[in-house]
Structure 1
């Protein structure tokens, strides 16, 4: 998902999150981790499925109360699974039980220009079927969204498609939805405030706003980045509807448990496409929440589109490669931003770069990186 207004780094992400497991220390040296457990066939209704999850956990815990307290998520709409706080021994016991398909630890995944669509050949003059396109609902799992962006204005759009079953609650610092941005939810396993984020669908990072506008942003003329890359910003399908499912947080990253919960919600809400620019590496598809979520989406006729990652080209550098996922790789682009430096001799040196400030004088001394190294960096490192 290429950024609508970016410098020519066509990486699909700006921020990397540490892949780790959440640890909770209890009862002395007994350590508990979050695990995700997939079970076999559904029961009749959601209440029965939820109770079955509690019953399974009760076989490991001292009481049903303990079982309920350990349960973090109960996935009851699109697949039969739950997430719980377990010791390693409890997880091993669960994995050997009848009816348990898989048990794997929760991990944290990482996040992976106005010219993008011309670059791939989708010009503004391409023939469109606005009636069909405005009925498309794109669900995104990301860092949230900025609803007041011009990319999400609903001017000229028809009423929200009747197939939509989702919702858009009101949150602090979130201006709400309209006929363009029709859904917004957030998923955070511990519900605790993030000191560097907002407990709402609001996008603090910018990644989710970028991917949403690239996919389905309304046409915005005269868009630019501080005067650079001026042009008309637009999504691939400007009249499509957007539903945001915030699963990535500034301090903790993107949790497997939250990703699965968002997949389940998006499938139930009635989206047509699920887009996810998040990645990581798992030992198998069965232990990969994106692969599992996308598989269940496919069973409902929903297309899952995911980024291949930012690394490579080396072995094991491609993420989200399950055969039922439409995987999109990064590419080079035919544009760059150049700045010129005039030396004292009059020689002009041109290089790729953008000034982050307005020069206050006409000339500056020429120095190496080592000459202006930070106190925390060695001179050898600063030279690079």
Structure 2
């Protein structure tokens, strides 16, 4: 189990996300643990500079990651046309990704992208290495290009945009008690009558403390064997797997040949994990295959949002303190989107986040996306921001962090009008 020291700088609260997604109650505080690293980094490195992202250095062939957006809407915002029907919604207002309409349009987008790859090989005179393809949150794909090749790609029919990918910096949290999450408990776990839910989201009165809600955290992964993510919480609550007992996603799904890793064990709380970053780290970087946390940041943010109630924190030499996530009875899915650079700083490629949002929509389970990573300062041109827009359209609430920069003007991260952006003050 990888560990590192948590450093509270910014809250990325999912309190509002949990409420809006239909949770009837949420919980109180998370202890900020001082943990000793057992891998490359002695402390959790969190960026505090004003920039929220950087362009990575080119590879040995002089190529960078680029995101190609194709004409035509992604599945999440497809409104139907003469050829393909409108994708229906389920009773909970989520997109029905398994419907015949969604599958027909998915096949169309996959064909369109396959044809683009043929055109790319002809235009560039070489084989094209595909990093990822997207259909649900974005209509496009990620590939390696040299700067001199970009114009040729832009001239191909059906190409709407060619965008240089960036590495985004991590943000981090303080505990839910600072945001008053414990006030939403009510009395003895009964929902307070004065809590108002936004329209369009179903209120599950029975689901105290987040039960029934699925939180997808996009970050550095998580320590799967940590008690915060165990099937039975410290309060005795036994989680129910929304997929059914014994059914899991990603690295715990033997049928998923792209993601399955036999050494991973999921449970009825932690129902899956995905790795969309391994192989994108530079030569001097570090990333463990699979969604295990090699930084510490992801375990922190995932436990802040949905970590179990635990009676004590004996593992770090603290006793008599209750620790809990905002929604301790929620189930969680981890998406690993970040690697460590040579200094131990977490860097998160945009293509990895887009792939994760794409997967979250495709799975049809995630209610809330928890994203404590930079970006979103220019949402109209940021492809990750567009993926969040499509996630919102599909019925997922997106909770982001305001970032570590400031306090000057214009230093707020994630100004997308379709996400929540949360910060902390003292």
TM-score by length of 2: 0.66
Q: 1:134 to 1:265 in 2, by over 3 A?
A: same
In the alignment, structure 2 segments of 5+ residues that lack a partner are 1-11, 14-28, 35-43, 74-83, 85-103, 192-204, 253-259
- The yes-or-no answer on 1:190 pairing with 2:294 is no
Counterparts of 1:1-384 in structure 2, within 5 Å, are 1=12, 4-6=30-32, 14-16=45-47, 19-26=54-61, 31-41=62-72, 44-62=104-122, 66-67=126-127, 69-112=128-171, 116-123=175-182, 125-126=185-186, 127-128=190-191, 129-131=205-207, 133-155=210-232, 156-162=237-243, 167-170=249-252, 175-188=264-277, 190=279, 196-223=286-313, 226-227=316-317, 231-251=321-341, 253-269=347-363, 270-280=365-375, 284-332=378-426
Task: Tell me which protein shows more strand as a share of its residues.
Answer: 1
Verify the 8 A CA contact 2:277 2:352 in the aligned structure 1: yes
Q: 1:51 to 1:197 in 2, by over 3 A?
A: same
Q: 1:115 to 1:258 in 2, by over 3 A?
A: closer
Deviation, structure 1 residue 104 = 0.9
Distance 1:115 1:261 in 2: 27
Q: What is the count of residue pairs matched by the alignment?
A: 322
SS of 2:207 mapped into structure 1: helix
Verify the 8 A CA contact 1:21 1:108 in the aligned structure 2: yes
Alpha carbon RMSD of aligned pairs, Å?
Answer: 3.4
Deviation, structure 1 residue 25 = 4.3
Deviation, structure 1 residue 74 = 1.3
Larger of the two Rg values belongs to structure: 1
Deviation, structure 1 residue 116 = 2.8
In the alignment, structure 1 segments of 5+ residues that lack a partner are 333-384
Verify the 8 A CA contact 1:224 1:231 in the aligned structure 2: no
SS of 1:139 mapped into structure 2: strand
Verify the 8 A CA contact 1:40 1:99 in the aligned structure 2: yes
Deviation, structure 1 residue 14 = 4.3
Distance 2:355 2:321 in 1: 38
Q: 1:4 to 1:225 in 2, by over 3 A?
A: farther
Relative contact order (alpha carbons < 8 A, sep ≥ 6): 1 or 2 greater?
2
SS of 2:222 mapped into structure 1: coil
Runs of 4+, deviation exceeding 6 Å: 163-166, 191-195
